[in-house]
Chain A
Amino acid sequence: MERKLNVVVVGGGVIGALIAREFSRYECELTLIEKELDVGWGVSKANSAILHGGYDDPPGSVRARFCFPGNQMYDQLQSELHFDLKRTGSYVLAFRPSELPVLDELMQKARENGVEGCAIHSREQVLAREPNVRPDVEAGFFCPQAGITEPWMVAITAVESAKKNGLQLRLGEEVNGVQTVEEQGKRKVVSVQTPSATYPCDIVVNAAGLFSDEISRMAGAPCPELYPRKGEYILLDKKPAPLVQTILFPVPDKVSKGILVLPTVDGGTLLGPTAQDMDPDRKEDTSTTSEGFAQIFDHTIRMVNGIDLSKTVKTFSGLRPESPQKDFVLEKTPVEGFFNAAAMRSPALTSAPAIARYVVEDLVIEQAGFPLQRKIFFDPFIRPYAKVSELGPEEWEKKVRQDPRFGKMICVCNEITEGEILEAIERGATTIDGVKFRTRASFGRCQGGFCLPRIVEILARELRLPEDEVRYRSGASTLLGKKVRS
C-alpha cells in the first residue's frame, strides 16, 4: 500500500483552519502549524466579523467568485460547528441625493455576482427597520444575505473538527523555512521547517495571513508583496440597548467599504474599521491611534444617532493583508506541491468555506493531480460549547445537577460560569485569551475587573502552573510578578 501523502497547512486562522478541515475529509497525514499559542489570533480575531452579501466585489474578480458561494455555505458549517451566526442583513446608506446612483450600481453588481434578494429601501423602510439611523437618510441598499459571526470561533471550531478527523495541531511553532528540491527540471517542496522540527511534506498550503508572502518566498514561489492595512474599532456596550440590528455601511469610496456601525453576535455595537495603509515592515503594529478614534466617531455619527463613546467596552485594531492587486491569491504555484491562499483581505472571512473547498478539490486534486482519497468516515460535527446563560433557569439547573461548577459564576458581565471556563481549557485554551475567546469571559463592560483574578487562578490550577506563568497570549505576556510572601 502506498504511504499516505503528507499535508502541511501553514497558519491557523479561519482560512488555514477551514482548509485543514477540508483536507481532513481525505486520507492523508495532516498537520497544521501555527506560530501563536492558539488558533485564530491573527487577522481572524480583529476584523468586522461580517459575512458579506457578495454584491460589492468587482464582477470577474477572484473574490467575487468566492464571496457569495462562501456566504451560502455558512449555514451548513454553522450547523456542524455551532459557532454563532446571525443573518442580520446589511444596508448601504445614502445620505445625499448624489449618492443614490451608487445604490443602483450595487443592485447591478449584485445581479452580476448572483446575489439574490437585494432591494433598495426608501427612507421610511430604512427608519422602520433601524430607528436610530439619522432621519435625513435618503435610501438604503438592502442585502438580506449579509450576516455576522465570531470569526475566531470559526477557526477554533474548524480546527477542533479537523483534529477529530486526524489533524495534528502544532501550536507555538513558527515556520522559518521551506525546503525544496529540483527533480526532473522541476522544483518541488519536500519539507517545512520550524525552530523545533522539520515536517516532511508532499503538499503545503500557505495560509499564513499577513506573512504568507514571506512563507511563499521561503519556498521560492511567487507572491505579491503584502502590506498591512490597519483597521481600528470601538466596541460599545450592549446596554442599555444595541444601537442597530442590521450591518450599516456608508456609500463606499475608492479606499474602502467605509466605517460601519454594526451589531455583534452578543448584542453590542461595533464601530469601524478605519483604513490606514502601512509599510510592509509594520505587520505587527496593531496599535490604536487617537486619529483613528476621532475618525470612527466623526464618520459614524453621520449615519447613526445616539453614539455615546462613554459606553466604550473595548477598542482594538486589526491588520488586513493587502496586495497591490487588492484580490485573493489562490493558486497552485510553480513549486510543485506548494499552494498559496494569500492576500486574504475582505471578504476572505465570508469566502473561506468556498476557498477551502476550492483549494483542496480544484487546486490540489484536480489541477495538481494529487491522488487524495476521500475518507469513508468523516465526522463533520463537534460538540457545541456550553452556554448556560442561554438556557432558562430550569434547564440551567439540570446542567448544575450534572456539574455544580456550571452554577459558579465567574464572568459576571456575560454570565459565564466556571464550568464553561473549564470546558474551554479542556478543549485547548492555555492562556487568558484562549479562555476569553472561547467563552467571552472578560469581554464585557468591566473588562475582567471582576473575573480576571479568578480566571488566572483557574488556569494556574488546571494547567499546574505557578500563577506568574499564566499568560494573556503568546510571548512575554504574563500577568503577574513574584509572590508577596514566599
Chain B
Amino acid sequence: MRTLELDSLVIGGGAAGMAAAVECAERGCKTVLVEREASTGGVLNQCIHNGFGLHVFKEELTGPEYAHLFQKQMADRGIDVHPDRFVLKVDPQKKEVITIGASGATCYKPNALIMTTGARERSFANLRIPGTRPSGIFTAGVAQRFVNLQNRLPGKKAFILGSGDIGLIMARRLTLEGMEVLGVAELMPFPGGLARNISQCLDDFDIPLYLSTSVVEVHGKERLNAITLARFDPGTGKVLPGTRKTIEVDTLILSVGLLPQNELIEDFCEVDAINRGVRVDSMMRTSNPWIFAAGNNVTVYDLVDFVTLDAKFAGQMAATIIKGGRLAQSAIPLKRGKNVGAMTPGKVCAGGNPFTIFLRSRKVMEKGRIELGPGLLSRVHMGIRPSEMLEVKVTQGHLEKIQQMGWKELTISLEEVEA
C-alpha cells in the first residue's frame, strides 16, 4: 500500500470539495482531492439547468459550467486530483485515510482533512409507502442522471412526489425531453423549492402542484402502472377521508429530501440531529480538530453559491493550521431558538474569524425578525420560506462583544412579525 504524506486531503470532488481544495492550494498547501467518480464536479455535471453562480460569479451559469470554472481553478493551482478512488476508512488516531482504486490501495497522511462528501437522496423504501415494489420508481437525481448523462428517459408518463427544487427541475426536464408529467404532489401545505422554480418549471408548463397531498399506495406487478394520491390534513397529518384518487402513470419521481452523508466520520464526530449532518464550529471544524467539513454533508443547502462560500472558508481555515497558524480553540454552542430548523455552524469561536450563519425557517412567514443574541443582532426579513436559506453575517464587532460579555452560549431565533 502506497503512503502519501501531504498538507491537506479533501474527500469528495463536488462543489464543496473543489472550492475547499482551491483555497488550500492558493495558500501554498500541498493538496490532494480524492473523488470516487471518474471526474470531479459531483452532481453539478448532471444539473444542466441554470441558476448557479449568481452570488459567487455574478452570472447565471449551468451546473457543468460552474463545475468547469472550479476544475480550471484546480488545474491552475496544480491540485492533484485522484479520481476513481474510494475512501475505506478515516482513522482519527493515526490521522490516516485508507483508500482503494484501480491502481491499488493508498494511505494518505494529511495534516488537515476536509470532508466534503455531500448528501444522498432519501429512498423510496424509507418512505414506507405501501403497495408493490415495481420498477419505474426513481429518485429525482437518478432520473436526472439517466436523462442528462446516459441519454435515457425513465418512462412515458410521470408523476412527481415532492416539490423540492430537484423535483421541480425534473418536472420541466422530463416535459421538455418528451414525457408527460401529470403533476407534482407536496405533503406540506407550502412548496419545498424556490418560488422561481415553481414559476418556470410548473407554471410555464401548466403542470399542477397539489399541496398537502402525497402518494399513499403504488401499484403494478413488474412495472409501475398507477399511484394512489390522497390529501392530508395539515394540522393532524392524517389522510382526509374520501380524498384518495388513483391515477395511471408508469413513472414515479421522488424528490423527498437529501440526507447528509458522513458514514466515514460519524462514529467519532458529533452529528447535529436536526441537520442530520456533521456539526461544525464557526471555523468549519468538526468536533475532531483534524477534520474540517463543508457542504451538503454538514447541512443541506439550497444554493450552490452558499456551499462554495462555506467550503472556501473551510479551505482557508484548514490552510491556516497547516501553515502553523492557530485557530481559536474554545467554542460556545449556537442554539436554535424559535422557528429555526436546519442551521450551521453549531458552535461559535468568539476568538476566531467572522463567519456566516446559514439557517432555514421552520415556517412560512410574510415578515419575520431574526434575532441573534442575547441582543447581538436583530433584523427584519420579508418573504421567509423554509425552502430558502437565510444568511446572517457575524462580524468582528459581534465576536468582540461576545468575548467582552463572556457569554457561554448564543441563540438564534425567528419570530413572526405582523406584515
Are chains A and B touching in the complex at the 8 Å CB cutoff?
yes
A residues with a Cβ closer than 8 A to B are 234, 239-240, 284, 286-290, 292-293, 309-310, 312-316, 389, 393-394, 396-397, 400-401, 404-405, 407-409, 412, 415, 445-450, 452-453, 456-457, 467-468, 471-485
How many angstroms between the C-alpha atoms of A415 and B98 in the bound complex? 14
A289 contact set on B, CB distance < 8 A: 130
Task: Give the distance to chain A from B228, nearest Cβ to Cβ, in Å.
Answer: 12
Nearest 4 interchain pairs by C-beta = A447-B123, A477-B222, A404-B102, A475-B222
On chain B, the number of residues with a Cβ less than 8 Å from chain A's Cβ atoms is: 53
How many angstroms between the C-alpha atoms of A310 and B276 in the bound complex? 11
Interface membership of B145, Cβ < 8 A: yes
Among B100, B142, B149, the residue within 8 A (CB) of A452 is B142
A397 contact set on B, CB distance < 8 A: 1, 100, 104-105
B216 contact set on A, CB distance < 8 A: 290
B263 contact set on A, CB distance < 8 A: 239
B156 touches A481 (CB 8 A): yes
Interface membership of B121, Cβ < 8 A: yes
Among A286, A393, A468, A478, the residue within 8 A (CB) of B88 is A393
B152 touches A483 (CB 8 A): yes
A293 touches B267 (CB 8 A): no
Given contacts A293-B128, A397-B1, A412-B36, 11 further A-B contacts (CB under 8 A): A290-B216, A313-B126, A397-B104, A407-B101, A447-B124, A447-B125, A449-B123, A449-B141, A480-B153, A482-B178, A484-B151
- What are 28 A-to-B residue pairs whose CB atoms are below 8 Å? A239-B266, A286-B132, A286-B133, A287-B131, A289-B130, A290-B216, A315-B125, A389-B88, A393-B98, A393-B100, A394-B105, A400-B101, A400-B104, A404-B103, A407-B104, A412-B36, A446-B123, A447-B124, A448-B142, A449-B139, A452-B142, A453-B142, A457-B150, A472-B135, A476-B222, A481-B154, A484-B147, A484-B153
A468 touches B135 (CB 8 A): no
- Given A396-B100, A478-B135, CB of A314 within 8 Å of CB of B222: no
Task: Give the distance to chain A from B40, nearest Cβ to Cβ, in Å.
Answer: 16
Among B100, B149, B221, the residue within 8 A (CB) of A409 is B100
A483 touches B151 (CB 8 A): yes
Binary CB contact string for chain B from 151 to 174 against chain A (1 if under 8 A, 0 otherwise) = 111111000000000000000000
Interface membership of B55, Cβ < 8 A: no
How many angstroms between the C-alpha atoms of A481 and B123 in the bound complex? 21
A475 touches B84 (CB 8 A): no
Closest to B176 in A: A484
A407 contact set on B, CB distance < 8 A: 84, 100-104
Task: Give the distance to chain A from B147, nearest Cβ to Cβ, in Å.
Answer: 6
A477 touches B134 (CB 8 A): yes
Interface membership of B179, Cβ < 8 A: yes
A313 contact set on B, CB distance < 8 A: 123, 125-126
How many angstroms between the C-alpha atoms of A482 and B177 in the bound complex? 11
A287 touches B128 (CB 8 A): no
Task: Give the distance to chain B from A126, nearest Cβ to Cβ, in Å.
Answer: 27
- Given A393-B100, A450-B120, CB of A480 within 8 Å of CB of B223: no
A474 contact set on B, CB distance < 8 A: 222
A471 touches B88 (CB 8 A): no
Task: Give the distance to chain B from A149, nearest Cβ to Cβ, in Å.
Answer: 22
Closest to A232 in B: B130
Task: Give the distance to chain B from A282, nearest Cβ to Cβ, in Å.
Answer: 12
B139 contact set on A, CB distance < 8 A: 449
B131 contact set on A, CB distance < 8 A: 287-288
A393 contact set on B, CB distance < 8 A: 1, 88, 98, 100, 105, 107
Interface membership of B210, Cβ < 8 A: no
Number of A-B pairs, beta carbon distance below 8 Å:
147
A240 contact set on B, CB distance < 8 A: 266-267
Closest to A452 in B: B142
Q: Is the interface of A mostly helix, strand, loop or mixed?
A: mixed
Task: Give the distance to chain B from A409, nearest Cβ to Cβ, in Å.
Answer: 4
A446 touches B121 (CB 8 A): yes
Task: Give the distance to chain A from B386, nearest Cβ to Cβ, in Å.
Answer: 19
Task: Give the distance to chain B from A390, nearest Cβ to Cβ, in Å.
Answer: 12
Closest to B177 in A: A484
Among A286, A400, A450, A456, the residue within 8 A (CB) of B100 is A400
Task: Give the distance to chain A from B388, nearest Cβ to Cβ, in Å.
Answer: 25
Closest to B99 in A: A393
A287 contact set on B, CB distance < 8 A: 130-132
Of A288, A412, A485, the most chain B CB neighbours within 10 A belong to A288
Interface membership of B86, Cβ < 8 A: yes
A312 touches B153 (CB 8 A): no
Interface hits, B306-354 → A, CB 8 Å: none
A449 touches B142 (CB 8 A): yes
B156 contact set on A, CB distance < 8 A: 481
Interface hits, B84-103 → A, CB 8 Å: 84, 86, 88, 98, 100-103
How many angstroms between the C-alpha atoms of A445 and B135 in the bound complex? 18
Closest to A284 in B: B221
B135 touches A467 (CB 8 A): no
Closest to A401 in B: B104
Among A312, A412, A471, the residue within 8 A (CB) of B135 is A471
Interface membership of B146, Cβ < 8 A: yes
How many angstroms between the C-alpha atoms of A449 and B147 in the bound complex? 15
- Given A481-B154, A484-B152, CB of A409 within 8 Å of CB of B104: no
Closest to A395 in B: B105
B177 contact set on A, CB distance < 8 A: 484
Closest to A449 in B: B121
A310 touches B126 (CB 8 A): yes
Among B88, B125, B146, the residue within 8 A (CB) of A453 is B146
Task: Give the distance to chain A from B300, nearest Cβ to Cβ, in Å.
Answer: 15
- Given A452-B142, A481-B179, CB of A290 within 8 Å of CB of B130: yes
A483 touches B153 (CB 8 A): yes
Closest to B224 in A: A477
How many angstroms between the C-alpha atoms of A113 and B121 in the bound complex? 49
Binary CB contact string for chain B from 363 to 374 against chain A (1 if under 8 A, 0 otherwise) = 000000000000
How many angstroms between the C-alpha atoms of A409 and B84 in the bound complex? 8
How many angstroms between the C-alpha atoms of A407 and B102 in the bound complex? 4
Closest to A412 in B: B36
How many angstroms between the C-alpha atoms of A262 and B126 in the bound complex? 19
B153 touches A473 (CB 8 A): no
B100 touches A316 (CB 8 A): no
B98 touches A409 (CB 8 A): no
Interface hits, B231-288 → A, CB 8 Å: 251, 263, 266-267
A478 touches B151 (CB 8 A): no
A405 touches B102 (CB 8 A): yes
Among A309, A408, A456, the residue within 8 A (CB) of B128 is A309
How many angstroms between the C-alpha atoms of A370 and B99 in the bound complex? 58
Closest to A468 in B: B152
B153 touches A481 (CB 8 A): yes
Binary CB contact string for chain B from 110 to 136 against chain A (1 if under 8 A, 0 otherwise) = 000000000011011110101111111
How many angstroms between the C-alpha atoms of A23 and B133 in the bound complex? 35
Task: Give the distance to chain B from A139, nearest Cβ to Cβ, in Å.
Answer: 33
Closest to B276 in A: A310
A394 contact set on B, CB distance < 8 A: 1, 105
Task: Give the distance to chain B from A268, nearest Cβ to Cβ, in Å.
Answer: 12
Of A284, A448, A485, the most chain B CB neighbours within 10 A belong to A448
A485 touches B151 (CB 8 A): yes
How many angstroms between the C-alpha atoms of A408 and B98 in the bound complex? 15
How many angstroms between the C-alpha atoms of A313 and B126 in the bound complex? 6
How many angstroms between the C-alpha atoms of A480 and B158 in the bound complex? 12
Closest to B250 in A: A481
Interface hits, B182-217 → A, CB 8 Å: 216
Task: Give the distance to chain B from A458, nearest Cβ to Cβ, in Å.
Answer: 12
Task: Give the distance to chain A from B2, nearest Cβ to Cβ, in Å.
Answer: 9
Closest to A312 in B: B126
B86 contact set on A, CB distance < 8 A: 409, 412, 415
- Given A393-B88, A394-B105, A449-B120, CB of A480 within 8 Å of CB of B152: yes
Among A312, A408, A445, the residue within 8 A (CB) of B102 is A408
Among B36, B120, B125, B134, the residue within 8 A (CB) of A312 is B125
